[in-house]
Amino acid sequence: MSVHDGTVVLGIETSCDETAAAVVMGGTDVLSSVVSSQVDEHARFGGVVPEVASRAHLESVVPVVREALARAGTGFERVDAVAATAGPGLVGALLVGLTAGKSMAMALGRPFVPVNHLEAHLYASLLEEPDLALPMLVLLVSGGNTLLVHVRDHGDYAVVGQTIDDAAGEAFDKVARYLELGQPGGPAIDRLSGAGDRAAIAFPRGMLHDGLDFSFSGLKTAVVNHVRANPDVATHDVAASFQEAVVDVLVAKTERAAAALGTSTVAIGGGVAANSRLRERLAEVAVRRGWRLALPSRAMCTDNAAMIAAAGWHRLRLAGPGDLATGASPNLRLGEQP
């Protein structure tokens, strides 16, 4: 099929705890984007419970797709292709969106496109700023990944840095759990840090002067040890100091990677890219370094289906339709196709 500016893709995302659907035209024109969060259903367990997530996706996926079509002012007949996340993520959760997407594509007689969720995070910035020129450097920071990615062209990526232990979002979530701030931890720490002193506690900056890889597990342990040794410490100071340590490392490595690659186009993506302090600090570096910096809106950083539809549009253009036999790939990595 010919893929062009008028090609409409229905995107479906169910890799973790958000059931999302979106209608996107031409890879950049978001006609609708609906996200139904399960945060409340998982709250009493202190984290995402895979079985609860699968069941909630099953209940929500069809209503969420209908809502996305209604908000876009279109029916199924206007959909030219259906894209769904095939991985990485929770296998049971992935299966729900993937099966829904394949079934809809089959019933409509339209192409189906399986999408790599990590590749989709790279498209968040391009969706909102389509004139961003490639190559660019993307800092992709989510609950499961911390990656520095050189996006040389569409579908052509090189990972130049990654975490050797915990992901940045995982560190936020673990520290928030320890401080009893609720889940997801990132937004809670971000909010609380506003009232805290970020210089109050000198937490370690893992691997700060060492290459482009990251390490956050020592920082989490340092937070636990500090609070145990100082039970009266103000929680907002711990939050602000912890956040500053994470942001220091993320910013330093992004700056080093951009210099090493000789690129001045930099973007961010993934849930942690919604962090206020990270955005503020990167904006300062961008002015100093003369970067073109793309900071996607917070809703586009966290899990959504508009990025899935956008990545699906590009994949359809580059590689044609996917296979209806495609299964869920819980451990899919960036650069691998489902």
Which residues between 53 and 112 bind ligand KG4 (CB under 6 A)? none
Tell me 58's DSSP state: H
- Residues 165-204, one symbol each (x = binds ligand KG4 by CB under 6 A, - = not), give ----x--xx----------xxxx--x--------------
Which residues between 290 and 309 bind ligand KG4 (CB under 6 A)? 302-303
User: Distance (Å, rounded) from C-alpha 213 to C-alpha 82?
Assistant: 36
Minimal distance in Å, beta carbon 122 to ligand KG4? 12
User: Distance (Å, rounded) from C-alpha 70 to C-alpha 60?
Assistant: 15
Minimal distance in Å, beta carbon 72 to ligand KG4? 23
- Measured from the CB atom, the residue of 7 and 275 that comes closer to ligand KG4 is 275
- Measured from the CB atom, the residue of 110 and 277 that comes closer to ligand KG4 is 277
**Bridge partners of 37?**
18
User: Distance (Å, rounded) from C-alpha 257 to C-alpha 71?
Assistant: 40
Minimal distance in Å, beta carbon 78 to ligand KG4? 28
Residue of the chain from 26, 144, 321, 335 that contacts ligand KG4 (CB under 6 A)? 144
Kindly determine how many residues on this chain lie close enough to bind ligand KG4 according to the rule CB under 6 A: 19
**Percent helix / strand / coil, the chain, rounded to 5:** 45, 20, 35
Minimal distance in Å, beta carbon 321 to ligand KG4? 25
One DSSP character per residue, 196-262 reads: S-TTSS----TTTTSSS-B--HHHHHHHHHHHHH-TTS-HHHHHHHHHHHHHHHHHHHHHHHHHHHT
Which residues between 234 and 273 bind ligand KG4 (CB under 6 A)? 270-272
Which residues between 6 and 25 bind ligand KG4 (CB under 6 A)? 16
Q: Is 324 helix (H, G, I), strand (E, B) or coil?
A: coil
